[in-house]
Structure 1
Amino acid sequence: MAAAEVRPAVVSDAPEIARIQRDTWKSAYTELLGEAAVAELDVVELEKTWAETIEYPGTRVFLATEGEFTVGFCVAGRAPESEVATADGSLPDDASTTALIASLLVEPRWGRRGHAGRLLANASAWLREDGATRGISWVAQTDHASLGFFRRAGWSPDGTVRILDTGSTNVREVRLTGGLDLELTP
């Protein structure tokens, strides 16, 4: 296996991040999101969105690489109040120190090689340095691979769910929460 690393993304990485998102959604999430939603992914718009995300203050995009290949990404930052609020809209005591893993995606062909763990560990370390004390992430209830990954990292559902309308189908997501003191093991 070539050297596997994680590094912060730069704007010139936006096309590759867009490619990973588009290809992974097509191969792994078409059934979940619906064919129409995946077919509507416009590469130019995706690249623009990723360039903006990379430059957005308080947010960091991390890239996983293996040798010369970019194989995955993770988006992390402070959780907006709307993401951390309970079902009744109230905020937990630690709302101001809660972080959001907004996206964590590894191309399926590069899966099971530790890239997701390295991405989450690096994002968690950066978030801790920024004063965050715990993290949250939203995962489709039927995405067993992602749910299993977060559970192995010590994260668990907190009882909050939301429904996303993709235009083709409704996706039920569960909110996971966990600590940011993650250590990589050999």
Structure 2
Amino acid sequence: MSRQDIDFRSASVTDAAAIARVQVDTWRDAYVGILPDQCLIDMSDIGAAARWTTAIAENNDPEMFVVAVWNGEVVGFCQGAISEFDVSGPPGAKVDGAGVIHTLYVDPSFQAQGIGTAMMFCVADRLREVGCRSLMLLVLSENRTGRGFYDKLGGVAGEEIPCVVLGNPTHETPYHWPNIATLLDELEAAIS
């Protein structure tokens, strides 16, 4: 299987259960040692599917919620939006023309094949089309794989921010790309 075997399209509410499965599987793989084991074990595809059904239904721009599909199966997803707040600055700081990636997950058995890069390109390109000039996101600070991915794409890491995930205190690190066009060039080069 190669990235060329993957189809990328807008998410639909019928994808919610598959998106939930990818999220739960990815969290259980990526967050071992970061979040308590019991929290990861207790995650529910059913509960997550209900939340994703709502998120997809309320999404105003289908091109900002992309799924990766292999042989009819959702193997990844990426969701972005226009942001009003600057996650790379002080809490509550407003910013104009910024896009944000809320989620980017690839099924663990499909990682390191360019799927996440391609989905991020799709969403970042749409954000550029609607006027965003920069991009930001948050990643759990201890998620070394995720941080390595964003570092490789030229993201500028900010100061850690305290947060609570599944009832557990931890930290997130904001990543910022001041020029979305430069990020798109990096993403395009990586998937070429």
**Equivalence for 1:45:** 47
Q: Deviations over 1:45-65 (max 9, x none)?
A: 211111111122445321112
**Equivalence for 1:19:** 21
Which of 84, 89, 95 in structure 2 is aligned with 1:86?
A: 89
Identity of aligned residues (%): 23
**Equivalence for 1:133:** 133
Q: Deviations over 1:138-178 (max 9, x none)?
A: 01122111111112222121x33211223564221110001
Tell whether the 8 Å contact from 2:88 to 2:136 is kept in structure 1 after alignment: no
Q: Return closer, same or farther for 1:174/1:90 CA change in 2, 3 Å cut-off.
A: same
Q: Distance in 1 between matches of 2:137 and 2:91?
A: 19
Q: Distance in 2 between matches of 1:43 and 1:129?
A: 33
Q: Give the C-alpha shift of residue 33 in structure 1.
A: 1.9
**Equivalence for 2:170:** 171
Which of 51, 69, 82 in structure 2 is aligned with 1:65?
A: 69
Q: Give the C-alpha shift of residue 86 in structure 1.
A: 2.6
Q: Return closer, same or farther for 1:18/1:55 CA change in 2, 3 Å cut-off.
A: same
Q: Distance in 1 between matches of 2:93 and 2:170?
A: 24
The number of equivalent residue pairs is 181
Tell whether the 8 Å contact from 1:34 to 1:168 is kept in structure 2 after alignment: no
Q: Return closer, same or farther for 1:153/1:76 CA change in 2, 3 Å cut-off.
A: same
Q: Give the C-alpha shift of residue 35 in structure 1.
A: 2.1
**Equivalence for 2:113:** 113
Name the SS for the 1:31 alignment partner: coil
Kindly provide the amino acid, as one letter, of the partner of residue 27 in structure 1.
Answer: D
Kindly provide the amino acid, as one letter, of the partner of residue 156 in structure 1.
Answer: V
Tell whether the 8 Å contact from 1:75 to 1:104 is kept in structure 2 after alignment: yes
Structure 1: tracts of 5 or more residues without a match: none
Tell whether the 8 Å contact from 2:66 to 2:78 is kept in structure 1 after alignment: yes
Q: Return closer, same or farther for 1:167/1:69 CA change in 2, 3 Å cut-off.
A: closer
Q: Give the C-alpha shift of residue 88 in structure 1.
A: 5.5
Q: Distance in 2 between matches of 1:147 and 1:85?
A: 15
The runs of at least 4 aligned residues of structure 1 exceeding 4 Å deviation read none
